[in-house]
Amino acid sequence: MNGSRATGKSLYIAVLVKQLDQLMAKMNSTVEFADPRTRENYTDIYEKPLYESRGLMPPTPSAITDSSYQREPLIFSLGILNGARRFLVIRDVAGEDMERPPADTTPLQFLANADAVFFMFDPMAVPEIRAKLQDLIPTQRQLGGDPHTVLGNLMNIIGAATPRLAVILSKFDAMHELRNVEDVDWQSIMSNSGAAFLRDPSLESAEYQQDDGELLHEEVRSLLHKLNAGRLVLSLENPHSGKAIPYRFFAVSALGEAPRGESVHPRGIAPFRCLDPAKWVLSLTGAI
């Protein structure tokens, strides 16, 4: 997991594990904790604050602090899939460490060896979007650093490696609210009933739907240009290293609606397309 502060990485992890359990049920399997530390960390740090206390977890601590629980990965067993036992290993990286990488990046070198890096982009980091939505959703109390800068830091850390890169437009429920602003362009874009970013078929099938994924990829790519994040797109299409990285764009909302202060919305948690990036990677690695 990668991206600036306050992009929703930890919330996404909490919700993704629950969604994966529903996906595995379609494949006659379950998600199990692979070791006691994973059970303890997921339960105490991710599950209880969100699903029991109905609140938001605190920011992920820097990897160089004594309280850095994420130095140990979360390891989940997915059971026997396609004739082999499969494991999903998740590393939650503090946005602070990606905005201002430490002088010694050794604790982050695992990024170069990952099957995939999930890079999250918060649309509320765009001043124009925040201004348009200020009367429609609660004000976001924390905002992370510049996504393009953070992506550049990520590219520097992974060096010549080419892990798959899922570029995820997070908190997409905020984008859905643009249907209600007094802006003809955004109303038209976000009210397109045929758009992939307005539907969620991720639990309809255990397989990753390539056609749907490619359509969503192109739609999110266009949205990023509209959000003045064209430099981020260009840095992926024409990386300075000269070495192409396989990437795909996604749109997710872990909660489904903006939180109210430090609590989830009274209507509860309604994940949107959270499984897509994981299904993409699991399909490419032969797990599903």
Alpha-carbon span 200 to 252, nearest angstrom: 9
pLDDT score recorded for residue 67: 60
Q: pLDDT band at residue 239, thresholds of 50, 70 and 90? A: confident
Instruction: Give the model confidence (pLDDT) of 74-95 as tens digits.
Output: 999 999 999 999 999 999 999 9
Alpha-carbon span 214 to 42, nearest angstrom: 32
273 vs 135: which has the higher pLDDT: 273
pLDDT score recorded for residue 214: 97
Q: pLDDT band at residue 66, thresholds of 50, 70 and 90? A: low
pLDDT score recorded for residue 203: 93
Alpha-carbon span 273 to 85, nearest angstrom: 25
Query: Does residue 285 contact residue 211 with C-beta atoms inside 8 Å?
Result: no
pLDDT score recorded for residue 130: 80
Share of the chain above pLDDT 90, in %: 65
Put the strands of the sheet holding 32-33 in their side by side order.
Answer: 32-33, 74-81, 84-90
Residue-averaged pLDDT of the chain: 90
CA 246 to chain CA centroid, Å, is 17
Share of the chain above pLDDT 70, in %: 95
Torsional class of 142: left (φ above 0), alpha (ψ -120 to 50), beta (otherwise): beta
Q: pLDDT band at residue 15, thresholds of 50, 70 and 90? A: very high
Match 């509320």 to its residue by tokens: 124
For residues 254, 176, 126, 101, the Cα torsion angle rounded to the nearest 10 degrees is 20
